[in-house]
Structures are given as structure tokens and as C-alpha cells.
Amino acid sequence: MSLLLANFPPLTGRYSVGCHDIEWQNQQPSNSRTPPDEYCKSVLMRLYYPATIKKGDHKANWITHPDYAKALCDIAKLPAFLSNWLSGLASIKKTRFYKDAQVLETDEPTQFPVIVFSHGLGGNRLIYSSICSDLASHGFIVAAIEHRDGSASLAKGVEDEWVKYDNVPPEVWGFRHHQLRHRVAEVELCLAGLDELAITKSNKGGPNFEGKLNMKSIVMAGHSFGGATTMLMLNDKACRFQCGLLLDPWAQPLMMLTDTDVHIQRPVIAILSEQFSFWPDNYESVQELIDHSVHSNKSLCLSLNGTEHQHQSDVLLVLRYWTLFDFRSPFQIDPVRAIDLNTEAAVTFINNILSKPITASKIAYPATKVSTNNAKKRSREPSAPRPISNFDPIINHTKKTKLAL
């Protein structure tokens, strides 16, 4: 089967990794003053975390149900016979992390920084397992949310029903804004659940996260539409996140908001695929939002040579033997190399920011309010470049820079 669906590469960090699926119930009842798209009964997430692997632990399957893979095949418009065949293979494909393994035990009490991850249109909590587990191998606990706003290829609903992909054209902005409000509510509920996990001993036989989550060192991350979700979460001056990780962020939904002035309040690193950096309108919007963020002097925007949009998910990694001889695509980087570069840049940036925590009281906000309306071109010049450690020769602050491969 490895000749059909390629094996997942070894993790690059020092830790073994476990995963655990959890659905966190909302403890606050809904009321008439809460808009329906801002209230969630529960949130479904997969936790990736440093783990102690014991005899009898088993590696997790990549896809937990064949219907997840079938939904991805439907989005790709594959014929039914091929969809059924690939779905069966995907549902038994093993990963590099272990299902429900024990959270890492150390000689000294250790708390791990937390990353909340938001998937893009057509994604789900499972298909970013490579980058999420790789981040966990470097000492983070990653909570990958499965959004139930209709943006997932398929999502497990509150009553175990399937929430199907909306299939609405991307530029229907009113619908995307409705989804963003729902996503924000899910992220907030995710944080509430993690707060509780951090102080409560598990009594259901699952991994025990008591005392393991550092809820003062939280990072918001997302791919594509999840990048828009991330920037919106970082728009609050009092947000709990220390920084943001933007993977091919889709900025247009934010630029089209009429009731919200998006002004990123935390340092961010935006890692663009070469394919996404060739989308001028979106690229300029990302640059604009970062250049005029509160911490623009600490933020970075870079692109990776030879990569396309799906190089930041599992899709091209698992299908890399199928695409090996696809000479039609100009984006021919090894998908394993692409994940490694994304992880290395993200880990370096995040650790640099978390070493000097940012709190709301320490932020110096500009005196003037900056509009994100595309009709107005901002004239403020970006701050001086702020390269970071291992990437000094190849990263410039908010400048389109290619990594030399």
C-alpha cells in the first residue's frame, strides 16, 4: 500500500507524539441575545501532544472513517470507483503518532505551550496531521478543531450526524462572514475546554492533561480560511494568544468585512506557498494587514519555492508517488521537505515570541485607527526587517522572500 499512499515521514522533533479526540460541551446555555452563528453546543477537536509510548500503544489511523476520505474525493471530483478504493486505503493508513497515548511524563513538572489550529475550506481536523504532529514533536500541544460551519469537507456533528461541505462559491462574502463568526465561537469554546482540561484529572480512561497545558502561552494558527479565522481571533486587543501562525492565509474575507476593522494585535508569521504568493489581490491584502499590525516589527511574511496550496496539508504528502511525474505542475518540491520547512520556520518564530511573552497591558497601540477598506491605500511604511535566528539569511520582514532549496 505504501506504493499507493505514501508513508508519513518521521517526526522532526525530539518527542514521540500521541493524539486524542475530544468533543467539549458548552457549559453556557444559549439565550435569545446570542446570534445562532455565535453559539456552539460543543466543539470537536483532535489533540496532538508529546507522549510517553508504552508497550501496547498503537499508531493512529490517518482517517477515522472512510466517509471523510470519500468527501475529499468528492471535492476533487474523482469517479466513484476511485473514490471508494482510495477511501478504503486512507482509512487504514497509519500515521507516526499514537492513539490515546499517555501525555509525556518528565522528572520535573512540565507544561507545554498550546497551539489552536483552524483548518481551511474543504479541510477537517485530520488532514493537517503532519504539521500538527510535527509541531507537537517539538514540545507543543496542538488542538486541531473540526469546524461545523459547513467549511469542512465533512464534519462530525453534535448528534453524530454528518455536516457536509457547503459547496458555496468562495466569494459569497456574507456567507463567509457568517462562517467566520461561527468559527470564532468554536475557537473560544475550544479555549474554555482546554482551560478545564488543564486543571482536571481525566476520569474517563483517556490521557490526563492536568498540569500539562500552559494556558499562558497560546498560539493561534490556521491554513487558508483558517488563516482568516486566525487573524480575526488576533483582532481583539485583549486576546489570550501570544502570536499567530498563518499558512497561506486567505485575507479577502477580512478585507470585505463592513462591520469590523481588522487590526492584528499580535506578532504573526505568514508562510505562503509559491502558488499563493502568485495571487496578487490576496498577497497584497496579507501584506497590508501585516504591515499595519500592532507588532509589524516582530512579524514575518515569507514564501517557499516550489510549493502549492496543499503542501501545507497531508494531501500531497500522502499522494506524492502519484504526483511524482506530474510535469504539468510547476510546484515540484518534495512534500516531505515542504512540511519540514513549514515546521522549522513556525517553531523558530513561535519560540522566539514565547520567550518574551506579550500581554495586553504592554501593547503600545497606534493613536490613529487604520481602516482595512481596499478602497483606501495605506501609506505607512513597514518597519525595519526583523529576521530570526536560523533564518537570518533568507527571511525579511513582510517582504516576499523565497527559501533557497
For 347-384, write each residue's pLDDT tens digit. Answer: 999 999 999 877 654 443 333 222 333 333 333 233 33
321 — phi, psi (to 5°)?
-75, -25
309 is catalytic: yes
Residues 248-294: tens digit of each pLDDT: 999 999 999 887 889 999 999 999 999 998 899 999 999 999 999 99
217 is catalytic: no
329 is catalytic: no
Q: What local confidence, expressed as pLDDT, does residue 38 receive?
A: 78
Q: What local confidence, expressed as pLDDT, does residue 325 receive?
A: 66
Catalytic, out of 149, 248, 291, 314: 248
Residues 144-202: tens digit of each pLDDT: 999 999 999 999 998 889 999 999 999 999 999 999 999 999 999 999 999 999 999 87
Cβ atoms of residues 273 and 301 within 8 Å? no
Q: What local confidence, expressed as pLDDT, does residue 31 receive?
A: 75
Instruction: Say which CATH number the domain at 240 has.
Output: 3.40.50.1820
**Average pLDDT across the chain, whole number:** 86
Q: What local confidence, expressed as pLDDT, does residue 368 receive?
A: 28
Least confident among 95-99, 111-115, 306-310, 382-386: 382-386
Q: What local confidence, expressed as pLDDT, does residue 33 receive?
A: 66
Q: What local confidence, expressed as pLDDT, does residue 205 receive?
A: 72
- Whether the per-residue pLDDT at 386 is higher than 70: the answer is no
On whether residue 155 sits in a domain, the answer given is yes
147 — phi, psi (to 5°)?
-70, 140
Q: Give, in order, the Cα–Cα distances in Å from 48 to each of 20, 129, 139, 227.
A: 7, 8, 10, 20
Q: What local confidence, expressed as pLDDT, does residue 328 receive?
A: 64
Q: What local confidence, expressed as pLDDT, does residue 2 receive?
A: 52
Number of domains in the chain: 1
On whether residue 129 sits in a domain, the answer given is yes
- Whether the per-residue pLDDT at 335 is higher than 50: the answer is yes
Angle at 177 between CA 176 and CA 179, to 5 degrees: 65
On whether residue 7 sits in a domain, the answer given is no
- Whether the per-residue pLDDT at 113 is higher than 80: the answer is yes
Catalytic, out of 151, 217, 224, 299: 224
DSSP secondary structure, 318-376, as one string: HTTTTSTT-TT-S----HHHHHHHHHHHHHHHHHHHHTS---GGG----SS-----TTS
On whether residue 163 sits in a domain, the answer given is yes
Least confident among 10-19, 32-41, 51-60, 88-97: 32-41
Catalytic, out of 309, 311, 314, 397: 309
Q: What local confidence, expressed as pLDDT, does residue 320 receive?
A: 87
Q: What local confidence, expressed as pLDDT, does residue 166 receive?
A: 93
Q: What local confidence, expressed as pLDDT, does residue 36 receive?
A: 75
pLDDT band at 321 (very low <50, low <70, confident <90, very high): confident
On whether residue 183 sits in a domain, the answer given is yes
Whether this prediction's pTM lies above 0.75 is answered by yes
Q: Do β-strands 162-164 and 154-156 pair in parallel, antiparallel, or remain unpaired? A: antiparallel
Q: Is 37 helix (H, G, I), strand (E, B) or coil?
A: helix
Q: Give, in order, the Cα–Cα distances in Å from 267 to each of 115, 221, 393.
A: 14, 12, 20
Torsion, CA 4, CA 45, CA 123, CA 183, rounded to 10: 180
Q: What local confidence, expressed as pLDDT, does residue 350 receive?
A: 98
Residues 6+ apart with CB under 8 A from 247: 131, 221, 222, 223, 224, 226, 227, 271, 312, 342
Q: Determine what percent of the chain is predicted with pLDDT higher than 70.
A: 85
Q: What is the rounded end-to-end Cα distance, in angstroms, of the chain? A: 30
Residue 311 lies in domain: 17-61+97-403
Please indicate whether residue 81 or residue 62 has the higher confidence score (pLDDT).
62
On whether residue 279 sits in a domain, the answer given is yes
Q: State how far the Cα of 296 lies from the Cα of 270, in Å rounded to an integer.
A: 12
On whether residue 25 sits in a domain, the answer given is yes
Among residues 186, 200, 265, 204, the alpha carbon closest in space to that of 231 is found at 265
On whether residue 2 sits in a domain, the answer given is no
